[in-house]
C-alpha cells in the first residue's frame, strides 16, 4: 500500500532553509566561543609568606686550661770511686815459664769430645748415590720383577676406586745387603704406597754396592707399578 502525502507536508522543499539555519547557529556558537575571556591563573607560591624567626643560640667561648708539664726525671749521677795509689788491687796471677827455649817440648792440644759423639760420628757413614758397582737384587732385574709380582697384593680400596699407576720408592742398601730407610718419593694413594713399602722392606738381602771393591752404603730408587688386570 503506497503512502500518499500532501504537497504542504513535504519537507524536501525546505531543506535549504534548514541548512542555512544550521550554518547560522554554528557560526554564532563559534563567535561566542572567541569572545569568551579566560582569567589568567597566577602561579601559586609554595613558600609561606610567614617568616619564622629562628633564634640563634650563642655558644660561649671557652678557654682550655693548659696543664703544667710533668716534672723532669731526676738526673742520674755516677759515683766515681777514686782509689789511691797505695791501695792493693786483686789480680789473677799468670804463670809462665821464663826458662823455655827451643828444645822445650810443648804438648799438643787435644779438644775434649764426649764418648756419645764419637759413637755417632762412627755410626754415620756416607751414603753413595753412584758407585762403581751398583747394588742388585739376587738373580737380576727379572728375579726382582717376579718377586714383586708374587708378593704384592692389590689394595681393595685402590681396586674399587680404579687407581693404578707407579709408586716411586727410595731406600738404602747397606753393606751387608739389608734394605733400610724405605720411603715414598711419589705415590698414587689408595693403599698402594703402603703396600709397595711393605713388600720392599721384606725383600731378601741384596748384593751390596762396591766402591774400589769395598762394600759401601748406596741409595737406590725403585719404581713399583700397579696395573688393574
Q: What is the pLDDT of residues 177-199, one digit of tens each?
A: 999 999 999 999 999 999 999 99
Taking CA atoms, 108 is separated from 9, 111, 114, 169, in Å, by 168, 10, 19, 49
Domain assignment of residue 96, yes or no:
no
pLDDT of residue 157: 92
Taking CA atoms, 172 is separated from 176, 221, 225, in Å, by 11, 9, 20
How far, in Å, CA of 164 to CA of 147, rounded? 19
- Check pLDDT > 70 for residue 113: no
Using pLDDT thresholds of 50, 70 and 90, give the confidence band for residue 94. Answer: very low
Domain assignment of residue 56, yes or no:
no
User: In total, how many domains does the chain have?
Assistant: 1
Domain holding 155, by residue range, is: 127-226
* 3-state class percentages of the chain: helix first, strand second, coil last, to nearest 5: 25, 15, 55
Domain assignment of residue 208, yes or no:
yes
217-228 residue pLDDT tens:
999 999 999 988
Query: Of 229 and 217, which is predicted with more confidence?
Result: 217
- Check pLDDT > 70 for residue 55: no
Q: Is 224 buried (19+), middle (13-18) or exposed (0-12) by CB count in 10 A? A: buried
Using pLDDT thresholds of 50, 70 and 90, give the confidence band for residue 68. Answer: confident
Q: What is the arithmetic mean of pLDDT over 17-30?
A: 86
Q: Pull the grid cell for residue 28.
A: 554564532
How far, in Å, CA of 184 to CA of 169, rounded? 5
How far, in Å, CA of 197 to CA of 184, rounded? 8
Q: Is 148 buried (19+), middle (13-18) or exposed (0-12) by CB count in 10 A? A: middle
Domain assignment of residue 91, yes or no:
no
- Under 8 Å between Cβ of 209 and 128: yes
pLDDT of residue 32: 84
- Under 8 Å between Cβ of 197 and 203: no
- Check pLDDT > 50 for residue 96: no
Query: Of 142 and 21, which is predicted with more confidence?
Result: 142
CB neighbours of 171 closer than 8 A, spacing ≥ 6?
A: 179, 180, 181, 182, 183, 200, 219, 220, 222
pLDDT of residue 216: 94
Q: What is the arithmetic mean of pLDDT over 128-134?
A: 92
pLDDT of residue 105: 60
Query: Of 50 and 202, which is predicted with more confidence?
Result: 202
Query: For 13, which DSSP code?
Result: G
pLDDT of residue 91: 47
pLDDT of residue 42: 60
pTM for the model stands at: 0.47
How far, in Å, CA of 221 to CA of 184, rounded? 10
Query: Of 21 and 213, which is predicted with more confidence?
Result: 213
Query: Of 59 and 49, which is predicted with more confidence?
Result: 59
Domain assignment of residue 221, yes or no:
yes
Beta strands at 209-211 and 179-186: parallel, antiparallel or unpaired: unpaired
pLDDT of residue 128: 93
Domain assignment of residue 167, yes or no:
yes
Task: Name the residue with cell 739389608.
Answer: 178
Domain assignment of residue 203, yes or no:
yes
CATH number for the domain including 171?
A: 3.30.1150
- Check pLDDT > 80 for residue 207: yes
Using pLDDT thresholds of 50, 70 and 90, give the confidence band for residue 81. Answer: low
SS3 30: helix
Domain assignment of residue 157, yes or no:
yes
- Under 8 Å between Cβ of 168 and 197: no
Amino acid at each position: 500500500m503506497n503512502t500518499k502525502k500532501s504537497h504542504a507536508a513535504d519537507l524536501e522543499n525546505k531543506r535549504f532553509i534548514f541548512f542555512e539555519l544550521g550554518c547560522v547557529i554554528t557560526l554564532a556558537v563559534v563567535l561566542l566561543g572567541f569572545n569568551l575571556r579566560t582569567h589568567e591563573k597566577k602561579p601559586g607560591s609554595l613558600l609561606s609568606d610567614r617568616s619564622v624567626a629562628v633564634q640563634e643560640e650563642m655558644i660561649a667561648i671557652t678557654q682550655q686550661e693548659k696543664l703544667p708539664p710533668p716534672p723532669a726525671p731526676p738526673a742520674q749521677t755516677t759515683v766515681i770511686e777514686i782509689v789511691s795509689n797505695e791501695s792493693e788491687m786483686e789480680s789473677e796471677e799468670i804463670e809462665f815459664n821464663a826458662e823455655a827455649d827451643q828444645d822445650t817440648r810443648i804438648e799438643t792440644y787435644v779438644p775434649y769430645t764426649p764418648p756419645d759423639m764419637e759413637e755417632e760420628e762412627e755410626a754415620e757413614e756416607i751414603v753413595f748415590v753412584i758407585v762403581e758397582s751398583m747394588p742388585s737384587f739376587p738373580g737380576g732385574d727379572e728375579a726382582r720383577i717376579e718377586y714383586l709380582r708374587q708378593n704384592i697384593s692389590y689394595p681393595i680400596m685402590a681396586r674399587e676406586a680404579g687407581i693404578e699407576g707407579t709408586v716411586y720408592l727410595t731406600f738404602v742398601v747397606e753393606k751387608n745387603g739389608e734394605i733400610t730407610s724405605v720411603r715414598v718419593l711419589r705415590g698414587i694413594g689408595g693403599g698402594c704406597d703402603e703396600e709397595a713399602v711393605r713388600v720392599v722392606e721384606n725383600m731378601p738381602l741384596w748384593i751390596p754396592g762396591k766402591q774400589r771393591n769395598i762394600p759401601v752404603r748406596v741409595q737406590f730408587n725403585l719404581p713399583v707399578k700397579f696395573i688393574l688386570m
